[in-house]
Structure 1
Amino acid sequence: MTQKLAQWFGKSSDVLSDKSSSSANSADNLHSDASANQTAHAKKSEPSSYRRASAKGLSLAVKPTVLGEVPVLDPSKPTFYVIREYSRSNSLLVGMMTDELNLPSALASVAHAGVSETSAMVFLKDRRNKKGATSATPRLERLVQACLADSSLDVNLIPVTILWGRAPDKEESLFRLLVADEWSSPSIPKQLFNIGVLGRDTFVRFSEVKSLQKLISDAKAGVGDDLTHTIAMRLKGYLDKQRTSIVGPDLSDRRNIAGQILSSAVVQSAIEKEAQATGKPIVEIKKQAAGYLGEITSDYSHSVIRFFDHFLTWLWTRLYDGVEVRHFERVRALAPDHQIVYVPCHRSHIDYLLLSYVIYKRGLRIPHIAAGENLNIPVLGELLRNGGAFFMRRSFKGNELYSTVFKEYVHTLMQRAVPMEYFIEGGRSRSGRLLPPKMGMLAMTVNSHLREPAKPVVFIPTYISYERIMEGATYVGELKGKPKESENWLGLLKTAKKIERIFGTVHLSFGEPLYLADFMEKFSVKTDSETPADDTSATANRHAMIANLGVKVMQNINKAAVVNPVSLLALVLLSTPKSALDEAQCLEQIALYQRIAQSLPYDADTHVTDMTPSEILAYGAGLKLITRTPHLLGDMIRVADKQAPLLSYFRNNILHVFILASFMAALVQRNGRIRREQLDSITNLMYPFLQTELFLKTALRNVPALTDRILQVLTDEGVIVDLGHGVLGAPEGNSESYQQLVVLASPAQQSLERYFMALALLSEQGSDKLTAEQAVNLCYVLGQRVSVLYADDLPDMFDKALFTSFIDTLKRLDYVVENAETKTLGFDARINKIAEHAKFVLNPDMMQLLRHTASLDNAEIDTAMREMSKKRKFRL
């Protein structure tokens, strides 16, 4: 049938089709007196036989229903039906309905004093009119001129709304929700699909009659100088209101604000500069800017949001045991009066869907999400765009026009107080730790507010944690050197195979809000209009404020951490040489961590699982993360085969909660006994590195008081012994308490091993020999080697982000200085002094291994750097 319809529509040049759709209610009970009123309207002529046949053919597939009252017309006036766009199928549908309702036929020609038209339809946007909707269509122009020429002539104008696929009783169908049309114009295949499949879920709304003479009179009283254009825009407004009442407002930025952005002074200036720089015509550069905008902007769709609501509800029940949400009441309280900016950590592609789903189900408007262009692949990209995503390139470098267009789009979001969401880490964490914040989106948000404040801005740090992730194996491979694969449908299909697996519970916690106004006050930053042009300190203050805000976001994400059963189990088992423990020891170690977390709560927002240790073991076994090996002397609990690298991810999610307790344990366990002043000295020296790596919330000045509390708890637990006279010691070597101390000390030792390896590399190579990039890449290669020699194969030892963070901290603390010309790292004897403190934590064998590994000659360095530049895995 759709083939025949396509043939009919293809032949007709003056029967036209709308580009919107949705569903309907029944209109079997139309007023019987409406026909009596309409029979008096003598039709000026009958539709051609071809048009009648076309409408009859359409009626075989389409059974529309009518919403609202049938308009009552003045029979002395010619009647025209106003439709949004040039269209064939919709105009045939209007013609069919006008005949059925005994209204003047939309398909018939109209002959009236001063008016002669081939059909009774006015299209506000005609595809033959290249100027688009902002220019009057020829028929409307002729009608306006006829009325101006003869003041006694008036015309009935009836705005008509047609929607396909919006029957309320069909909204439970995922497929129908996805294909339902709202505001966007469908392609020809999509419109044929609407007719053939959704034709019986169509409704038509005839609005109240508008007098053209009245519209002309009102338009003359206005400020517009194009009379017909002003009338067209008012008619469009009537249709928009009618459609909004049925399907909700049009929130698509592509349709609503593209013109506003391209005509802004900032973008116009950038277009002129680009034209001057390239020598290209202004018109060509404008097209280029419009292309960038189409690439960036969201295309919000109510039907796609409803589709995601149904689909994700189905998906979560198959993937997860549940989604636990904490502290959402904070967001609800702030939403009415603030510009909300969600800044979550980034663990998985699921994050995009999860956060929007939680917000939507709790009754708040879902945010516009900044997504990487890698996700803008066919079909998926449009679905995400329909769900509120806008896309950004990984780098704006060298493209000032794109940068300007993108920043102006962000500014429009801020001006409309649209909730926003972006992942401040820039990309997904491959190690489970938070990555250093990327300041791009944060700076754009802040600068937009300073340029033109709208609502007060509040950032909502958001912690997301999983108990299994779909990308786990991919993350481990990438950390080991496997090139990152670009997102594509093959990868998505591979991921879809995992839908029937069990991934435990998802945890979503909304952290303590951060108010931009507070940071502006702290750093003495004012809005652009309040800042004198000659204030040289303003830029420096602004940069310092943004940097501090980025760090505080990361710290508040960590404060909202959830110590879930899997992360706690991973922390215990991966701290043992063979990732295995006697069951009784394992249970007691889990209980110890729980008691430490309760006695030393990291933050009021931090949540620790209330499962018992036995329940945690059972839970881990259910997720197939651990195995139990029966033994006469007691069962052994070990990490399941190939799960250790994956579990390290979840351990790292909560490492910050226990790192200082682990560090104290490591100092005592390695030395057997240590004086308190020496412990404090080493802690003060090493804490800034731990703080930077794990975004610890405690300021260095408050560490001594925190150290007192930690040591008191560890002493009460019996894992550290107070020997008196300011000396701390370890328990007896063969005691259970000593075994607990060894396990507790392990996580901090792993961090210090990385630090020492980087320091040893710099020391062995000498000052002003390596650039920061070379140092990081060499540490990555060395870390791979140590991981294999050490036989743990955990990716932590060769995570480039951690080495980058360590080198940056050395520079920030002035231990190394980067040469402005050569970019090499210069340093003095203090580097060796820091490295000497490693002997208080690391065993001699490990220190010797790290020193030996770091002793590379020039040929080895050249080989390593060459292989790294090829982005291939370094093969041992």
Structure 2
Amino acid sequence: MAFIRTLMTPLRAPLRRLIASWVEFRLIEPATDELDLDPTLPVLYVLPHPSLSDTLLLESLCRARGLPPAAGLRRVGEIALPACLALPSPRRHLWRRASRREEAPFLALLEQRRRHPDHEVQLVPVSVFWGRAPGKRFGFWKMLAADSWQFTGRLRRALSVLVNGKNVELHFGAPLRLGDLLDERGAALANRKTARLLRVHFRRLRTRVLGPDLSHRRTLIEGVVRSPEVRQVIETLAEEERTSRARLQQRALRYGREIASNMAYPVLRFMDGLLRRLWNRLYDGVEVRGLERVKGLAGDHTLVYVPCHRSHIDYLLLSYVLYRDGLMPPHIAAGRNLDMPLIGPLLRRGGAFFLRRSFRDNRLYAAVFNEYLHRLLSRGHPLEYFIEGGRSRSGRLLAARPGMLLMTLRSYLRRAAGSGQQRLAFVPIYIGYERIIENASYQRELRGGRKRKESPLALLRVLGQLRQPFGRVAVNVGEPLTLADYLDREVGDWRQTLGEERPAWLTPLVPRLGEELCRRINAAAALNPVNLVALVLLATPHHAIEVSLLERQLALLVDLQRHHPGGAHTSLPEGTPVEWIDQVVALGMVERRGHPLGDILVADAGQAGLLAWYRNNVMHLFALAGLVAFAFRRQPTHRLDTLEALLSPSWPILARELVIEPPASLRAALAEMLDLLVDQGLLERAGEEWRRPEEPLEAGERLRLLGQLMQPSLERGYLLLAVLLDAGPGELVAEELAERSRQLAERLALLSGLDAPEFFDTRLFANLVESLEREGWLWREGERLMFDERLRRAAQRSRELFDPALRHRLQLLTRRREA
């Protein structure tokens, strides 16, 4: 070894220049100017294992970026060490087993630091990835060249430099100071402690970037079919259906091949390049926020990404963002309808696994799918699925479906009962678009049109739209939910039920978990120019507004979010209201009409229908502000006590409809919002009262526009209560109540000229009924809905929110329906 190092010394400089000229970094994290290095202290770089190519690459990077040099010797006190060190790795020889691991090279430095506290040193861990392969065979040359979980030899690393030199990632770890690692037990123990900390860091980073090793697909499917859980179902069905076990096993293998992904690194590389060009052509930019929360968990948690589902682009966008930022792309649960010619195989190799829309009555398919999902989770593979089930045609976040959440929970409990507790975290993701490619199809389906079946031909039609502008897209990471902490908080003694196939607490917990994840998704919403303009423009009677008033109202909405955000991780748009309006006009979402007295922004019927989808993306952010503003529509003056009494019955129902986290104290939130509206000039305070300002008139108009945001939701609630109270207790079932209310809402929309199909969406009324039950206003006797005088009194108070003209119109509509 010494002879080889002596031989290589004169070759280091030309090799370093050769690597510097050949290599292109795909990612350097963190950026070199963000490293938290103390310039007064010497720096030693540490690699996870000896590697000449990694050392030379680091040396050239440090020279190019002005970092402390990684070449030559670094003298610290009386000790001289190479500026770039490596943790020792076992030496393997063909003729004998690996030798015992050598001691880490920090002992002398630690002993010197203990004697001389001023001889401090910073250790900077460095990980280099030449290509990224998740441990799976995918072709001879790529198999030899790409980084995986197997450490490489010299020949293989040389080949890796040649093949993957244009796809290199370099990750710096947080600097470690020797003084922080010393304790009274001595330098030898501190040396082992240092090596252990570094190895843990390198292992977690490698897991984050590469993911766990992938089994060969065929081997994985065969393992699923041979599992005790699937074999037990085969035995049961063989007896019940009098079918041979061999035939059932072949059916199970067919199901496994239908389900399983076939993630391939070359496809990930191909998709990365393809999607980079697609996003650059399709969008003006992809803004990602909050990904550092994921990176903090990725090394030692199994991650389950749960994005909102607004577009087919969601599948591709999230995987691209994760891969681009140094995280392993997840395995994605996709509907079987996407497993079509050409597209299906590509998605499968990109990590998609396919499931049928329903398999409740197919026990063998359910067993195979459950076992496949469990094996992915128990091996630590990141997953992605859409808890809403399908794409939202209305723009609202849909209620979470229990299927995948229940299977994930059961897998987690099975793992915890077997080989020990697994760390698992749900990662909520909000994806916000300024324009989606499904605009036309969503509007057609909302008006009763049939959903068209996905096909390659439909994809070609979509590709024809790529010349159109689509603005920007935001990917916001919400607050992750670690499952163990959630179970401790919600169940408490859940560990005592490990081993039970289906604990009693499991079924009622799943909907609560879904609601919590939905709230966290909505709490990370992104405001953009399109949804801001939609919020204001659709609050006007004829979908037209003066541009000057629109600019001030847009600034108001952003200021409200800046001082009283509707979510913990909400993001605001950059730029000014003038620039936002220009962006929406450029996207073709509205029309700007010139006028001598000032320009006017107008949306025709088709544009208004499209804008409603984008408004619904973020309307929840203004729930409290809109409700308070609406309360001043009829009554010009309120005290805090009377306002709280007026809004408290409606607020929990509204919060549930809009999927937001209610404040701990409604009274405190109301007081804060009232003061904020005073600061904005929309209200005036006189002692213990707040009132609408008489002057200027524009303040009243802006307050009215803000309150108009909540009017559709309040009108739906009014109609439903009117139908229920007129019918009386025990007269209606939930489905009948929802349908009658929907019919009234549809009639109201037609009479009002409101071209908004989501206003009379049956699911909204069904959710209202469920919310009233959850809040205790309704209960069931058999299938019949029951209520008492408390609901009548609460409904009477809620009527006071509406001005006489609006109330008269709603009452008249209700009476005509009952007649």
TM-score (norm 1): 0.67
Q: Look up the SS of the partner of 1:628 in the other structure.
A: strand
Cα offset, 1:593, TM superposition: 1.1
The 5-angstrom pairing of residues 166-565 of structure 1 reads 251=214, 254-453=217-416, 455-525=422-492, 530-531=496-497, 539-565=503-529
> Could you list the per-position Cα deviations for residues 287-311 of structure 1 after superposition, in whole angstroms to 9, with x for gaps in the alignment?
2222222221112122322221122
Cα offset, 1:857, TM superposition: 7.0
Whichever residue aligns with residue 485 of structure 1, its letter is R
Please, which moves more after superposition, 830-839 or 253-262?
830-839
Q: Look up the SS of the partner of 1:463 in the other structure.
A: strand
Whichever residue aligns with residue 350 of structure 2, its letter is G
Residue 857 and residue 557 in structure 1: after superposition, are their counterparts in 2 closer, same or farther (change >3 A)?
A: closer
Q: Look up the SS of the partner of 2:353 in the other structure.
A: strand
Whichever residue aligns with residue 780 of structure 1, its letter is R
* Number of the residue aligned with 1:657: 621
* Number of the residue aligned with 2:721: 759
CA distance in 2, matches of 1:506, 1:464: 7
Whichever residue aligns with residue 612 of structure 2, its letter is S
CA distance in 2, matches of 1:691, 1:440: 24
CA distance in 2, matches of 1:646, 1:604: 28
Cα offset, 1:720, TM superposition: 1.7
Whichever residue aligns with residue 633 of structure 2, its letter is Q
CA RMSD, 1 decimal: 2.8
Query: 633, 641, 646: which one pairs with 2:610?
Result: 646
Residue 819 and residue 381 in structure 1: after superposition, are their counterparts in 2 closer, same or farther (change >3 A)?
A: farther
CA distance in 2, matches of 1:474, 1:532: 46
Quick check: 2:424–2:483 contact (8 Å CA) kept in 1? yes
* Ranges in structure 1 where 5+ consecutive residues have no aligned partner: 1-160, 172-200, 202-246, 861-876
Quick check: 2:306–2:428 contact (8 Å CA) kept in 1? yes
Q: Look up the SS of the partner of 2:454 in the other structure.
A: coil
* Number of the residue aligned with 1:77: none
Query: 625, 632, 641: which one pairs with 2:596?
Result: 632
Query: 674, 677, 695: which one pairs with 2:659?
Result: 695
> Could you list the per-position Cα deviations for residues 486-522 of structure 1 after superposition, in whole angstroms to 9, with x for gaps in the alignment?
2223332322221111110000011111111111211
Cα offset, 1:602, TM superposition: 2.8
Whichever residue aligns with residue 520 of structure 1, its letter is L
Query: 799, 811, 816: which one pairs with 1:839?
Result: 799
CA distance in 2, matches of 1:750, 1:704: 24
Q: Look up the SS of the partner of 1:608 in the other structure.
A: coil
CA distance in 1, matches of 2:360, 2:633: 50
Cα offset, 1:837, TM superposition: 3.2
Cα offset, 1:362, TM superposition: 1.3
CA distance in 2, matches of 1:475, 1:754: 22
Quick check: 2:138–2:266 contact (8 Å CA) kept in 1? no
Cα offset, 1:856, TM superposition: 7.4
1:769 aligned onto 2:736 = no
Q: Look up the SS of the partner of 1:423 in the other structure.
A: coil
Cα offset, 1:429, TM superposition: 1.2
CA distance in 2, matches of 1:433, 1:810: 20
Cα offset, 1:257, TM superposition: 0.8
CA distance in 2, matches of 1:270, 1:853: 56
Residue 649 and residue 413 in structure 1: after superposition, are their counterparts in 2 closer, same or farther (change >3 A)?
A: same
Cα offset, 1:401, TM superposition: 2.0
CA distance in 1, matches of 2:344, 2:725: 48
* Ranges in structure 2 where 5+ consecutive residues have no aligned partner: 1-136, 147-162, 164-209
* Number of the residue aligned with 1:672: 636
Please, which moves more after superposition, 344-353 or 610-619?
610-619
CA distance in 1, matches of 2:705, 2:727: 34
Quick check: 2:259–2:369 contact (8 Å CA) kept in 1? yes
Q: Look up the SS of the partner of 1:502 in the other structure.
A: coil
CA distance in 2, matches of 1:557, 1:533: 32
1:713 aligned onto 2:693 = no
Between the aligned residues of both structures, percent identity stands at: 39
Cα offset, 1:840, TM superposition: 2.4
> Could you list the per-position Cα deviations for residues 131-174 of structure 1 after superposition, in whole angstroms to 9, with x for gaps in the alignment?
xxxxxxxxxxxxxxxxxxxxxxxxxxxxxx996998999x9xxx
Whichever residue aligns with residue 590 of structure 2, its letter is I
Quick check: 2:211–2:380 contact (8 Å CA) kept in 1? no
Quick check: 1:582–1:635 contact (8 Å CA) kept in 2? yes
Cα offset, 1:563, TM superposition: 1.0
Quick check: 2:212–2:381 contact (8 Å CA) kept in 1? no
CA distance in 2, matches of 1:814, 1:527: 27
Residue 402 and residue 532 in structure 1: after superposition, are their counterparts in 2 closer, same or farther (change >3 A)?
A: closer
CA distance in 1, matches of 2:474, 2:660: 21
> Could you list the per-position Cα deviations for residues 157-198 of structure 1 after superposition, in whole angstroms to 9, with x for gaps in the alignment?
xxxx996998999x9xxxxxxxxxxxxxxxxxxxxxxxxxxx
* Number of the residue aligned with 1:785: 747
CA distance in 1, matches of 2:666, 2:678: 18
Cα offset, 1:604, TM superposition: 4.2
Residue 493 and residue 360 in structure 1: after superposition, are their counterparts in 2 closer, same or farther (change >3 A)?
A: same
CA distance in 1, matches of 2:455, 2:259: 19
CA distance in 1, matches of 2:217, 2:740: 46
Q: Look up the SS of the partner of 1:646 in the other structure.
A: helix
Residue 261 and residue 533 in structure 1: after superposition, are their counterparts in 2 closer, same or farther (change >3 A)?
A: closer
Cα offset, 1:353, TM superposition: 0.4
Q: How many residues align?
A: 617
TM-score (norm 2): 0.71
Q: Look up the SS of the partner of 1:643 in the other structure.
A: helix
Quick check: 1:575–1:747 contact (8 Å CA) kept in 2? yes
* Number of the residue aligned with 2:764: 802
Please, which moves more after superposition, 648-657 or 287-296?
287-296
Give 1 or 2 for the bigger CA radius of gyration. Answer: 1
Query: 586, 597, 614: which one pairs with 2:561?
Result: 597
Quick check: 2:414–2:499 contact (8 Å CA) kept in 1? no
Q: Look up the SS of the partner of 2:287 in the other structure.
A: strand
> Could you list the per-position Cα deviations for residues 10-42 of structure 1 after superposition, in whole angstroms to 9, with x for gaps in the alignment?
xxxxxxxxxxxxxxxxxxxxxxxxxxxxxxxxx
Residue 525 and residue 421 in structure 1: after superposition, are their counterparts in 2 closer, same or farther (change >3 A)?
A: farther
Q: Which runs of 4+ in 1 moved over 6 A?
A: 164-169, 247-250, 532-535
